[in-house]
């Protein structure tokens, strides 16, 4: 990993050499909640070493969404439960081979087998898996926030469908930190789900996140640098989306990132299909 930093009391962020992917460890009472551990085998082993140095035992993991770079694990983290939203869990049960394919040949077999071994938050807080496996309601029907079942410290789950169905953000009220997964990055543009025909779902999800971001003093993205100016990240993404919806040049430096060219073009297409917003 490139670096490890404590961004708030008991909140460690480790940054991978790949796409500046972040792993977050939330510490409490000599225990740790590990969010989105990533990426290479040595870096995943390094996450376990960081916890050992902190004298913290991993008691649970959380995957912010279903994408392959956010569902990894390492034997050094033990057999703790790894939680995700019911939608994310159901997709990995139904489409495991397809979702795992990008990792084949990239990680050793031992780590491939551990990828995506998720379970829904106990108890199933809002939906049963068999309902979600058949489909999901519209993006405007988002569940109320709920708490991670961990006694180490309060962690609140906020679900939305921006970027991917069944995405989540984690709020740590005691230190005003929000962990947002693949949202609000300084190096990546807003990245709507390619399966969505327009930007409505993304905009609804961003509205859900904005309520949490306004309360935060530190924001941790899934790719890029943590920030102590969370609202600046939100404002940058809103400016970009407002521009593409209005047919204007966004003038956003993130477009110059080669990995973002295709994302930008697809977002322009989705913007053209987005109905007028009230």
Question: For 14-40, how does the pLDDT look when each residue is reduced to its tens digit (9 = 90+)?
Answer: 999 999 999 999 999 899 999 999 999
Question: For 71-88, how does the pLDDT look when each residue is reduced to its tens digit (9 = 90+)?
Answer: 999 999 999 999 999 999
Question: For 102-147, how does the pLDDT look when each residue is reduced to its tens digit (9 = 90+)?
Answer: 999 999 999 999 999 999 987 645 444 434 444 455 555 688 899 9
Evaluate whether 7 touches 175 at the Cβ level (below 8 Å): no
The span from the CA of 245 to the CA of 127, in Å, is 33
Q: What is the pLDDT of residue 130?
A: 39
For the purposes of burial, counting CB atoms within 10 Å of the CB of 177, is it exposed (0-12), middle (13-18) or buried (19 or more)? buried
**CATH of 3-272 given 3.40.640.10, 3.30.420.80, 3.30.565.10, 3.60.15.10:** 3.60.15.10
Preceding amide of 123 cis, omega within 30: yes
Residue 91 CA: distances (Å) to CA of 77, 155, 180, 202, 250: 24, 24, 20, 20, 34
The mean pLDDT of the chain is: 93
Domain layout of the chain by residue ranges: 3-272
């Amino acid at each position: 990993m490139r670096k490890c930093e404590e961004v708030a009391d008991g909140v460690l962020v480790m940054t991978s050499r790949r796409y500046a992917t972040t792993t977050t460890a939330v510490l409490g009472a000599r225990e740790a909640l590990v969010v989105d551990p990533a990426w290479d085998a040595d870096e995943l082993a390094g996450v376990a070493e960081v916890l050992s140095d902190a004298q913290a035992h991993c008691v649970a993991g959380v995957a912010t969404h279903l994408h392959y770079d956010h569902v990894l694990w390492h034997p050094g983290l033990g057999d703790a439960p790894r939680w995700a939203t019911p939608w994310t869990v159901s997709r990995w049960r139904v489409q495991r081979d397809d979702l795992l394919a990008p990792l084949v040949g990239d990680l050793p077999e031992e780590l491939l087998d551990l990828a995506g071994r998720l379970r829904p938050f106990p108890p199933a807080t809002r939906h049963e898996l068999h309902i979600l496996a058949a489909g999901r309601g519209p993006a405007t029907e988002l569940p109320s926030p709920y708490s991670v079942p961990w006694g180490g410290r309060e962690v609140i789950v906020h679900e939305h469908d921006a970027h991917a169905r069944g995405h989540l953000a984690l709020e740590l009220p005691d230190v005003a930190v929000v962990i947002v997964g693949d949202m609000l990055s300084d190096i990546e543009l807003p990245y709507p789900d390619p399966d969505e025909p327009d930007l409505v779902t993304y905009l609804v999800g961003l509205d859900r996140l904005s309520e949490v971001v306004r309360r935060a003093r530190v924001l941790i993205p899934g790719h890029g640098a943590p920030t102590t100016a969370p609202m600046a990240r939100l404002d940058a993404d809103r400016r970009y989306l407002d521009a593409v919806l209005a047919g204007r040049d966004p003038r956003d430096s993130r477009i110059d990132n080669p990995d973002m060219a295709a994302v930008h073009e697809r977002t322009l297409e989705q913007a053209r299909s987005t109905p007028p917003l009230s």
